[in-house]
Amino acid sequence: METPAAKKEWKLRWILLLLTLPLYVIDQWTKFWTIRTFPPPWEDGGASQIVVVEGFFNLRRVHNQGVAFGFGNGSDWAPVVFLVVPIVALTLIRLGVKKKFFVGNWGLVAVALLLCGIFGNLTDRLIQGSLLEIMQGATLWERLKEGYVVDFLDFTIPVVNYRWPCFNVADSCICIAAGLLFFTGLKADLDQKKKPAADK
């Protein structure tokens, strides 16, 4: 007979297979489509774009070498930080699953989304710089330093006319996962407070 822990582990594996893997493929496909469709940002200053909804949503190619929202772009420390952060994040996720920090099915969905986001952007960091023609013959470290995340979703908030920093599918997965973790944690806390004192 399967224990509850075994059932939970099996369920997580299926969520990873049915959610993380397809989203990772979509993330990589859309990024390579962006690279094939638009010229490098240094050739046209990032001016090339496809207007999807006028004044609200465009598709364009952006190279993000920073940590988040372009922070640290072009710095020497950002590539190092971005290679260390996924290792730390994966370690924390593994501990969180083991300690049952991720509550219920939605918590497991959050894990699946986080893994897609981490692996999607890490893949970019490791290979995109190496694919640039200008990096042919460069050392491994130089290629890694030129690694970047491909962003292409470009939104403008009409009311305040604010252009949100470009992002991608992996970024979206991480943001949704963060929201799920917040609400599942809040719900678990509220449920705990509702329990009678004898049940605690």
Residue 165 belongs to some domain of the structure: yes
pTM above 0.95, yes or no: no
Residue 142 belongs to some domain of the structure: yes
pLDDT per residue as tens, the chain (200 positions): 444 444 455 577 888 889 999 999 999 999 999 999 999 888 888 889 999 999 999 999 998 886 665 555 656 666 677 778 888 999 999 888 888 888 788 889 999 999 999 999 999 988 887 777 777 777 777 777 777 899 999 999 988 989 999 999 999 999 999 999 988 888 877 777 777 655 55
Rounded-to-10 torsion of CA 91, 28, 70, 41: 150
Q: Is there a contact between 115 and 177 (Cβ–Cβ < 8 Å)?
A: no
Strand order through the sheet with 162-163: 49-53, 57-64, 149-157, 162-163
Domain extent for 111: 4-191
Residue 197 belongs to some domain of the structure: no
**Domain count of the chain?**
1
Q: What residues act catalytically?
A: 151, 171
Residue 114 belongs to some domain of the structure: yes
Residue 44 belongs to some domain of the structure: yes
Residue 46 belongs to some domain of the structure: yes
